[in-house]
Amino acid sequence: MQLGLMQSIATKQPAAGAVQLVVDAEHHRRVVLDGMLKATVSLDIATADFKAMLVAQGSGRGISIVEHLRRLASRSVEIRLLHAGTPSAPALAELKRELPRNLTIRRCPRLHAKAVIVDCRAMYIGSANLTGAGLGAKGAEKRNMEWGVWTESSSLIDAVLEQFNALWEGERCRKCKRKDVCPVPLEEPKLL
C-alpha cells in the first residue's frame, strides 16, 4: 500500500512553488525526459558521478545523455556540468569526439550534491547522480533506489543556483583544505 501511495504522489503535477516527490524509475521521465531534454535556455547540472547513460524514448535503443547534451548545446542551450570524479570511459570517449561550445564541464572532487536546474525555472534536487542507475534508465532490478524533489519554486531554485554559482566560480576553492585531491581547482577535463 505504501509503495502505491508513493508512486501516486510522484506522478501528480506540483502546484506553483510546491515540491513533488520523485521516486526511483520516475526520475527518468521527470528529470531527464520532461526536464533536461526540454531545456531551451540553460541547463545546470551538479552530480558526483557522470556516466554516458542511455536515454530511452519510445521503442528502440536509447541515445547517450552525452549526445543529448550535444544536441541541446547545438540549439544554443548553455550547459554547465559540475561533477566530482572522472566521467565514465564511454562518456569521455563521446566527449573527446566533440565538446560543443555551449557545454562547459568542471570538476570539484568534494562535490556530492545532485541537482538539475532547467532554464532557471524548474529544478530536481535529490540523491540521483547523472547515471543510468541513478536516473532510472535501468531496469527495476538494476537501478538505484533514489528519492528527490522536483520544483518550480523560484526561491528554492535561486538558493540552489547561488550555491552552484559560488562553487562554479571557485569561491569555495580559496578556503578549501583538500588541495591534495584537487591540485587544479575547478579543472576542466583534458579531453585530448
Model's pTM, two decimal places? 0.85
- pLDDT of 81 over the 90 cut: yes
Q: What is the pLDDT of residues 93-138, one digit of tens each?
A: 888 787 778 899 888 888 999 999 999 999 999 999 888 888 877 7
Higher pLDDT, 137 or 146: 146
Which one, of 34, 49, 57, 51, lies nearest residue 118 by Cα?
34
- Predicted pLDDT at 8: 42
- Residue 7: per-residue pLDDT: 46
- The 10s digit of each residue's pLDDT in 19-60 is 899 998 899 999 999 999 999 999 999 999 988 888 876 666
Task: Please give the DSSP secondary-structure letter assigned to residue 147.
Answer: E
What's the pLDDT band for 6 if we cut at 50, 70, 90?
Answer: very low
Give the tens place of pLDDT for each residue, 147-157. Answer: 999 999 999 99
Which pLDDT belongs to residue 72?
Answer: 95
Q: How would you class 63 by CB atoms within 10 Å of its CB: exposed for 0-12, middle for 13-18, buried for 19 or more?
A: middle
Domains contained in the chain, CATH given? 16-168 (3.30.870.10)
Q: Name the strand (E) or helix (H) holding 53.
A: none
Cα–Cα distance, 69 to 45 (Å, whole number): 11
Give CA–CA dist 86/191, Å, rounded: 11
- Looking at residue 60, its pLDDT comes to 65
Which of the four pLDDT bands, split at 50, 70 and 90, describes residue 192?
A: very low
